[in-house]
Amino acid sequence: MSSPDPLRNLGVHVTGRGGELRVWSHNATGMELAIFDAKDPTWIIAVIPMTAHDGGVWSGRSSKLVPGARYAIRASGPEGKTHDFDPSRNLIDPYARGLARTSTGEWRSYVQDDAFDWGGVAKPKISLDHTVLYEAHVKGLTRTNPNVPEELRGTYAALAHESTIEYLKDLGVTTVQLLPVQQSVSEQRLIKQGLANYWGYNTLNFFTPHASYASRAAQVGGTGAVLREFKGMVRLLHEAGLEVMMDVVYNHTAEEGPDGPTSSLRGLDNASYYRQMADGDYIDVTGCGNTVDFALPAAQRLVLDSLRYWANEVQVDGFRFDLAATLGRDENVDFDRGHPLLHAIVSDPQLAGVKMIAEPWDVGMGGWQVGAFPRGWSEWNDGYRDRVRDFWLTDIAAARHTGSAKRGIGGFARRLAGSSHVFSEERGPMASVNFITAHDGFTLADLTAYNQKHNLGNGENNRDGTDNNHSFNHGVEGPTRNEDVLESRCKAMRNLLGTLLLSAGIPMLTAGDEFGRSQRGNNNAYCQDSELTWLNWDDRDGWQDELWLVAQQLLRLRRENPALRPVRYARFGETVPSASQMDWYNTEGRSMSEKDWNSPAARTLQYLAASTPEFEDFNRILLVVHGREDDVTVTLPEHEGVTGYTLLWDSAEDDLSEAELEQDPGSEVRIAGASMQLFRAH
């Protein structure tokens, strides 16, 4: 008979006679549970000595540990360079499902009442091939939405407001991927500068919703009301058929470097939870001051229990893991694709069906691990991002300046077809999360309008943010009234959106890119909580409304054409269900030669993709991509079973009402410079 799991039931569990708190610490020599007055969270009303058990678990019970109680942990232990015990310090329970603030700014753990009426609403369970991610910030998405009552703008309630839901549904995305919504705080450096961490990648606690994103009424109602508003948001989005994903930050905590604020893990067991050298210096592979040690079973369990809570108790549909390579580092700080935590996340029965997306890198040695995660994971594909940007932006810039692009179309085509050179056959194209932009970096509009970053407002003398933007300003840095420049920028945005939404893989659209939102060249707006980062719901230019309609149309075309959404890679000479048979043709309608693939002068291809039906009807499309600024005439390919082509979309034309939509195989079609055309083959 196996022995009981020592890490079971960590945190507070309420019983008929109060509650029990269980906390893990390998090095503590003593621990106390402090309970505070309900009206004055600075006033201790009870101190309960906790008992040590096998496996490093400490427990304490109290009849006062009931829903609504505020409590803290006090830990004592050895001194030394790797330890930070202080028995007078009130620490946050790592498993606290609620947090309360004192008048002095301290945090208290809170015993949460998890009761909530879900009204029978279930998760939408959208398949990966139909998934379109929409990365958004809770506050930034709705802060200026005039259709939301003013007191709700920028909150969980505003995200669930009927006008926001209608916008998302009309656009055609399926899954809202929220920037961090676990309780976070700003770094000490930013606070001293009078700035704030707007993005929220500085987590204080892994189980509690960020309070300031709740409505004022919920904040006044306390942490329980904040949780209920969050759950209400999830329920209403699910009711509308929209999924909710969370961007989670487990790789480091808000305790920063060794001299940072101690609030939880450091005070409970600094030597165990954080990676350190013998002299106490932190091994920092996150660039954020500390690194949680996931060679530690207790740290692995903390992540799994947090995910289970959000996925089951709060009904969240999936997670995007910030700096996920850190979660796969072993006791030697080396990345291990067989790491038990990486496998547990995608194999845990309690997390079955939950979408898991890795940001597959960190800043440590060997930190770039794109394509190396186990089956069951999807990954941000930065190679896709860079190659697509280069094809439509920097290559065009090079051709203007030197007369020749830097590269041919072959690398672009591999990304378009699902990056099979990056992800294994068993994982398939759904392992690739394709993106052109994200919260971090230039917006779509700024990619076409700036050659350099403009981050002076961040207070770091423009040193922060990447210099490797793969962008092209089309001749003028920043805003301009030059019509030729503006037209080129708009077409470039249409090409970038078209590539993203017509590629094999899971597309991620950054909120605001659908209408060309700008951050005035700031490519690292993590500390900008203002109109610079909020979505503009009013006062858009005409071209922005037109771009929104393009995004909407492309999303509809993606839904309607399963050949664009293969689940598996095709194999030559075999019939693979839910794969797309791909044939490639040059401008003359002949099979691509090596020169056609690789020559910087030959940047045109025709991509014919036919679905292999498994759950949807047969479908075949032809995508024509032309990557030079001069017009070209292509001969549409003659292919067995194809009797004609119907033009569905042209990135060079907003209006197809006067275009000749029907074409025969073998006919010649004029393709405008630097543009794309999508046909349905029949």
**Within its chain, how far is the Cα of 157 from the centroid?**
21
Cβ within 8 Å of residue 646, ≥6 positions away: 661, 662, 663, 679, 680, 682
State in Å, rounded, how far the first CA of the chain is from the last one. Answer: 64
Phi-psi region of 418 (alpha: psi -120 to 50; beta: other; left: phi over 0): left
Q: What is the CA radius of gyration of the chain?
A: 27
**Distance (Å, whole) CA 237 – CA 233:** 6
**Distance between CA atoms of residues 238 and 217, nearest Å:** 23
Q: Helix axis angle, 340-347 relative to 297-308, nearest 10°?
A: 20
Which two three-digit tokens encode residue 327?
């979660």
Token code pair at residue 515: 């209408």
- Distance between CA atoms of 419 and 439, rounded to whole angstroms? 23
How far CA 50 is from CA of 31, 90, 91, 412, 493, in Å, comes to 5, 14, 14, 60, 60
* 320 three-class SS: strand
Q: 3-class DSSP state for residue 435?
A: strand
Owner of token pair 């009761």: 115
Tell me the C-alpha distance between 75 and 91, whole Å: 8
Helices 162-171 & 542-560, crossing angle to 10 degrees? 70
Beta 604-611 vs 30-36: how paired, if at all? unpaired
Q: Which residues contact 365 (CB under 8 A, 6 or more apart)?
A: 285, 333
Q: Which alpha helices (DSSP H) does 561-660 contain, by range?
A: 594-598
Q: Which residues are catalytic?
A: 322, 359
Cα separation values, 41 from 69, 71, 102, 104, 290, Å:
9, 8, 6, 10, 29
| Cβ–Cβ < 8 Å for 111, 14 | yes
239: left (phi over 0), alpha (psi -120 to 50) or beta: alpha
Tokens of 610: 């036919």
CB atoms within 10 A of CB 1: 3
Cβ neighbour number for residue 360 with a 10 Å cutoff: 25
